[in-house]
Structure 1
Amino acid sequence: MPATKVVDYYFAPMSGYAYLGHARFAEIATGAGAKVRYHPLDMAQVFAAAGSFPPAKYPDVRQKHRKADMARWAAKLGLPINTSPAFWPVPMALACRVIVGAGTIGADQGAVVNAVLSAVWVHDLNIAEVDDMAKALDLHGLDAEPVLAAASDRNVVASAEAETKAAIDKGIFGSPTYMLGDDWFFGQDRLDFLGDLLAR
């Protein structure tokens, strides 16, 4: 019996391009029978380590292009999007803990990630606030109480913090990044390449 393929998924919980690629990535991984390991990151630390700067600090001319590009992708993929979300950027620690905590209790991490990303880019919720995070999970039919309880566990807090350090040590520099073995695919616009590799 062939070994299960494993994709490591590195992303920021408030990344617009992670939001745009998430459903398609999940479909590709499921179709290939691949396991996904979720690595939510505090991208402020990642950008600093890589010597780059976050999209929120782009100059106006680049912001204009980025928003237009995101709107085109959303239209192409049939996804709703607010390219000027009310709560972006915000601290990502709570969202990272929620995603890691969901995995520790056997919740559907993919669904939780979708809820968190959609909170920012569709629902104008603040993923740095517990009440808004609960609303985001509820909107997607997820039981918020056990997930939020898990997110406050000290082992989960430590694990979530370790994810960012491990990603920096690996050389991750942007969100989303998908890894299959030694092959890296940065950006949701590279998902076709990931799908092709998984299909081999």
Structure 2
Amino acid sequence: MSAPNVIDYYFAPMSGYAYLGHARLLDIAADTGAVIRYHPLDMAAVFAAAGSFPPAKYPEIRQTHRKADMKRWAVKLELPINTTPAFWPVPMDLACRVIVASQALGGDQGEVVGAILKAVWVHDLNISDQGDVGKTLELDGIVADEILNVAGDSAVASQAKAETAEAIEKGIFGSPTYVIGDDWFFGQDRLAFLRGHLKNL
């Protein structure tokens, strides 16, 4: 269970809605003094465990409405977005390991997560390719070499896999999901509720 001032943030590194919510989540944490714990997930495994399926497998009509919804949010939030990214979906193992590695190195996980999300939805980079991940980190001023080296460690790989296993055990079913204690907020459109909840603690 989370402490009252801890947000457990469950997300897929290629989630469009995680991208749309990420900057606001960081702002909420800074404004309320909350700490974010980052849980990067292999969402294919999460969807399978929940008896669901990923957005890439939605029927065409639902895909069309999803893209329109994302575009509306991006306009509202004044964020750039390509709703038909060149590399989506792709395997998320490398991105998950890089995010875990950034924590192991004591880096700013929020910055790393933001860079990886932008790789997909802004820069048309492939987060399953080490060169592209390095490039997206460098675009945000993050030195990539050490993070990528540590991301190859077996302990980091094990931790990345454990994040997904623990999320499945907890019952996480979608990205992004924000958890404070027993309270869950699913979707970036619930961030206002998350902020209000933290303000009332």
Give the TM-score category using the shorter length: over 0.9
* 1:25-36 alignment, distance < 5 Å: 25-36=25-36
Cα distance per residue 1:122-156 (max 9 Å; x no partner): 00000000000000000000000111111111111
* 1:32-51 alignment, distance < 5 Å: 32-51=32-51
Q: Hey, what does 2:8 align to over in structure 1?
A: 8
Cα distance per residue 1:163-193 (max 9 Å; x no partner): 0000000000000000011100000000001
RMSD over aligned CA atoms reads 0.8
* 1:21-170 alignment, distance < 5 Å: 21-170=21-170
8 A Cα contact 1:19 1:121, kept in partner = yes
How far residue 62 of structure 1 moved from its aligned partner, in angstroms, is 0.2
Paired positions, count? 198
Cα distance per residue 1:1-41 (max 9 Å; x no partner): xx871000000000000000000011001111111100000
Classify the secondary structure of the residue corresponding to 2:9. strand
Using the size of structure 2 for normalisation, the TM-score is 0.97
In the alignment, structure 2 segments of 5+ residues that lack a partner are none
In 2, Cα distance between the equivalents of 1:19 and 1:64? 18
8 A Cα contact 1:4 1:33, kept in partner = no
Equivalent residue letter for 1:151: A
Classify the secondary structure of the residue corresponding to 2:75. helix
Classify the secondary structure of the residue corresponding to 1:79. coil
In 2, Cα distance between the equivalents of 1:141 and 1:72? 29
Classify the secondary structure of the residue corresponding to 1:178. strand
* Percent of aligned pairs sharing the same letter: 68
8 A Cα contact 2:4 2:180, kept in partner = no
In 2, Cα distance between the equivalents of 1:4 and 1:43? 26
In the alignment, structure 1 segments of 5+ residues that lack a partner are none
Equivalent residue letter for 1:61: I
**Post-superposition, which runs of at least 4 consecutive aligned residues in structure 1 deviate over 3 A?**
none
8 A Cα contact 1:95 1:127, kept in partner = yes
Using the size of structure 1 for normalisation, the TM-score is 0.98
8 A Cα contact 1:85 1:124, kept in partner = yes
Equivalent residue letter for 2:172: I
8 A Cα contact 1:12 1:18, kept in partner = yes
